[in-house]
C-alpha cells in the first residue's frame, strides 16, 4: 500500500483514526453529583420606564372698547387700552379701559410608553454539543458543521465527548444543562438519555435538541439520517448490480458489515438491510458484527476474507472504517477495479472524503452520504427560529418552546441532501411512531457514484475545501485488472476543484 502526501490540509486540523483535538474539549467536566449539588443563582433585572407628559397652554384674550370717531390710537400697556378723543374737543377726556383676560388651560394627555428590556440569556448565549465519539472524521465533521453555524450567529460554542459511554453521556447532559443556554446532543441508543433530557429541561430549564441518531427522549426536536431507508437502499443497489451482471441473484453472496447495535443509527441501518434481504431468500447473506470501531471493522474483514469471498459488500460506515475492508481484499487478492469481471460490488453509508476518493479510484461502486452539513445546520436554524429566539424559557413560568408541526423544510442554503427540490417533513414521532411525541425529521437518502462524485456540494467534498483533505484520502491499493478510463478523468477533475476551492479559504 502506498500513500500520496498532497492533501494540502492544515496541520492543526489533522484528523486520523485515533486522534482528536483535546484543546477543544471543555476544560471543566463535572460529575452528575456535582451538577445536582450546584444551585442556580438567578438575577432578574427589569427596567420599566413610564413617561407621561402634560402640555399646558396659557391663552390671553383681549377685549376691544367701543369704536370712537374719528381717530383711535391704541396703546398696549399691560393689557390696558387707551382711547383719546379728537383734538377738536376743548377739554380732552382720557378714558382708560382695563380688561382682564380669562386664562384658558389646555391639558393634553399623552399615551404612556412602556420600555421593555429583553431578558438576557443566563449563560451569555452559549451552546454545548455532546458527541458519543470523536475518533474519526465523521464525528469531527458533525461537530464542525454545527460549530460553524453557531459561531456565525455570534453564539459561543463548546463540546464534550462521552467516549461511547451511555452513562457518561447521561451525566454530561445533566451537568452541562446548568452551564449553557441550550444543549445539542448526538444520542447513542434509543432511550439511553431520556431521563437526562427530562432533568435538563424540567429542572434546569435548558432545551435539548437531538441530532443525527434518533431517540425517544422528550427533546425539542430530532433531525437525523433515514438509516433504515439507507440500509434498504444498499441492498437494492447490490441486487440490481447482481442481476445486471449475472442475470440472477440466486446463490449469490452478499456480506454486510454492521456497527454496534447499541448505536441507534447502526441498528436502524442493519434493520433496513435485513428487511430488504428477507425479500430475497435466494441470496446467501452474511452479516459481520464489527463492534462499531475502526479496529473491529478491520478485524472482521480480515477474518472473513482470509477464507471466504463475496459477490457484493455492504457497509454501514465507510472512510476509516472501510479502509480495513480494502486492506483485507488487497491482502487476500480479492480487490479488483470496478468494471473487471472479478470485481466485488461495494456500497457504503457515510460519504466521507476518503470514500468519495475511492469511488474515483474505482475501488468502490457507490456511497450513500449522510448529509451532516444539512442535518446540523438545519438543527441550528430551527433552534434559533423557534426554541432560543429569546430567553423567556429561563424565567418563570419557564415556558419550554416548541416548533410547529407538521413543518416542511428544504435543504439549508449551502448544504446538500440530493437537490433543492427534495423536501423533508418534520412531524411527531416519525422515526418511532407511537413511542414519542417529539418532532422528528428524516433527511432524504441519495446515492453517489462515478457520475456525480465531483458534485462540489456533497458534504464529503465540501468539507475538504474547508478543512483540507482527509489524511487517508490519497491512499492507494494494488487493485487487480485495468483502471477504467473514467477514473483518471474524475481524479483530475477533483484535484482541480479541490485546489480552486481550498485556495479561496
Q: How far apart are CA 151 and CA 126, in angstroms?
A: 10
Which of 79-93, 174-188, 312-326 is predicted least confidently?
79-93
Calculate what percentage of the chain has a pLDDT beyond 70.
Answer: 77
Binned at pLDDT 50, 70 and 90, residue 139 comes out as very high
The DSSP element (H or E) to which 185 belongs, if any, is strand 182-185
pLDDT for 102 equals 52
pLDDT in tens, 204-251: 999 999 999 999 999 999 999 999 999 999 999 999 999 999 999 999
pTM here is 0.79
Q: Does domain 126-219+372-443 have CATH number 3.40.50.970?
A: no
DSSP per residue, 251-268: T-EEEEEE--TTSHHHHH
pLDDT for 60 equals 31
Q: How far apart are CA 159 and CA 173, in angstroms?
A: 11
pLDDT in tens, 23-68: 344 434 434 334 334 333 333 233 323 222 333 333 233 333 334 3
Residue 404 in grid coordinates:
410547529
471: left (phi over 0), alpha (psi -120 to 50) or beta: alpha
Contact yes or no for 367/355 (Cβ under 8 A): yes
pLDDT in tens, 99-135: 454 555 545 555 666 556 889 999 999 999 999 999 8
pLDDT in tens, 410-438: 999 989 999 888 999 999 999 999 999 99
Continuous H helices in 19-155: 32-36, 137-152
Continuous H helices in 313-352: 320-331
Range list for CATH 3.40.50.2300 in the chain = 126-219+372-443, 227-370+448-501
pLDDT for 108 equals 53
Residue 77 has pLDDT above 90, yes or no: no
Phi, psi of 351 (to 5 degrees): 75, 40
Phi, psi of 46 (to 5 degrees): -125, 125
Q: How far apart are CA 244 and CA 178, in angstroms?
A: 58
pLDDT for 420 equals 84
pLDDT for 111 equals 63
Which of 79-83, 263-267, 329-333 is predicted least confidently?
79-83
The fold adopted by the segment(s) 227-370+448-501 is Rossmann fold (3.40.50)
pLDDT for 81 equals 38
Amino acid at each position: 500500500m502506498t500513500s500520496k502526501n498532497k492533501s494540502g490540509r492544515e496541520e492543526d486540523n489533522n484528523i486520523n483514526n485515533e486522534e482528536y483535538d483535546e484543546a477543544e474539549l471543555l476544560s471543566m467536566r463535572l460529575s452528575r453529583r456535582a451538577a445536582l449539588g450546584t444551585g442556580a443563582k438567578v438575577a432578574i433585572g427589569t427596567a420599566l420606564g413610564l413617561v407621561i407628559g402634560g402640555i399646558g397652554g396659557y391663552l390671553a384674550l383681549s377685549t376691544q372698547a367701543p369704536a370712537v370717531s374719528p381717530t383711535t390710537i391704541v396703546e398696549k400697556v399691560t393689557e390696558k387700552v387707551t382711547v383719546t378723543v379728537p383734538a377738536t374737543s376743548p377739554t380732552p377726556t382720557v378714558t382708560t379701559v382695563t380688561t382682564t383676560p380669562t386664562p384658558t388651560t389646555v391639558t393634553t394627555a399623552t399615551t404612556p410608553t412602556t420600555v421593555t428590556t429583553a431578558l438576557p440569556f443566563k449563560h451569555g448565549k452559549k451552546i454545548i454539543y455532546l458527541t458519543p465519539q470523536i475518533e474519526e472524521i465523521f464525528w469531527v465533521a458533525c461537530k464542525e458543521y454545527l460549530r460553524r453555524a453557531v459561531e456565525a450567529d455570534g453564539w459561543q460554542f463548546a463540546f464534550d465527548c462521552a467516549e461511547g459511554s451511555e452513562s457518561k453521556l447521561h451525566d454530561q447532559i445533566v451537568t452541562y444543562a446548568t452551564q449553557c443556554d441550550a444543549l445539542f446532543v448526538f444520542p447513542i441508543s434509543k432511550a439511553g438519555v431520556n431521563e437526562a433530557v427530562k432533568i435538563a429541561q424540567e429542572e434546569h430549564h435548558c432545551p435539548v435538541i437531538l441530532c443525527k441518531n434518533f431517540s425517544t427522549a422528550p427533546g425539542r426536536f430530532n433531525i437525523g439520517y433515514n438509516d433504515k431507508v439507507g440500509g434498504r437502499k444498499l441492498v437494492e443497489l447490490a441486487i440490481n448490480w447482481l442481476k445486471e451482471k449475472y442475470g440472477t441473484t440466486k446463490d449469490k453472496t452478499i456480506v454486510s458489515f454492521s456497527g454496534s447495535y447499541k448505536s441507534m443509527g447502526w441498528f436502524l441501518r442493519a434493520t433496513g438491510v435485513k428487511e430488504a434481504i428477507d425479500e430475497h431468500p435466494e441470496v446467501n447473506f452474511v452479516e459481520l458484527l464489527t463492534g462499531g470501531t475502526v479496529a473491529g471493522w478491520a478485524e472482521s474483514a480480515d477474518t472473513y476474507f482470509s477464507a471466504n469471498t463475496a459477490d457484493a459488500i455492504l457497509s454501514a460506515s465507510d472512510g476509516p472504517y472501510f479502509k480495513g475492508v480494502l486492506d483485507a481484499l488487497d491482502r487476500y487478492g480479492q480487490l479488483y477495479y470496478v468494471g473487471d469481471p472479478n470485481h466485488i460490488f461495494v456500497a457504503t453509508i457515510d460519504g466521507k472524503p476518503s470514500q468519495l476518493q475511492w469511488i474515483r479510484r474505482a475501488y468502490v461502486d457507490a456511497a450513500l452520504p449522510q448529509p451532516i452539513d444539512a442535518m446540523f445546520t438545519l438543527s441550528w436554524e430551527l433552534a434559533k427560529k423557534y426554541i432560543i429566539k429569546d430567553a423567556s424559557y429561563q424565567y418563570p413560568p419557564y415556558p419550554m418552546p416548541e416548533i410547529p408541526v407538521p413543518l416542511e423544510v428544504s435543504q439549508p442554503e449551502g448544504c446538500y441532501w440530493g437537490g433543492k427540490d427534495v423536501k423533508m417533513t418534520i412531524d411527531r414521532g416519525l422515526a418511532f411512531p407511537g413511542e414519542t411525541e417529539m418532532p422528528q425529521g428524516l433527511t432524504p437518502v441519495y446515492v453517489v457514484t462515478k457520475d456525480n462524485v465531483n458534485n462540489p456540494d456533497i458534504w464529503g467534498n465540501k468539507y475538504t475545501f474547508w478543512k483540507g483533505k482527509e489524511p487517508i484520502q490519497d491512499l492507494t491499493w494494488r487493485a487487480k485488472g485495468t483502471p477504467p478510463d473514467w477514473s483518471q478523468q474524475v481524479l483530475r477533475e477533483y484535484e482541480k476543484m479541490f485546489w480552486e476551492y481550498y485556495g479561496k479559504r
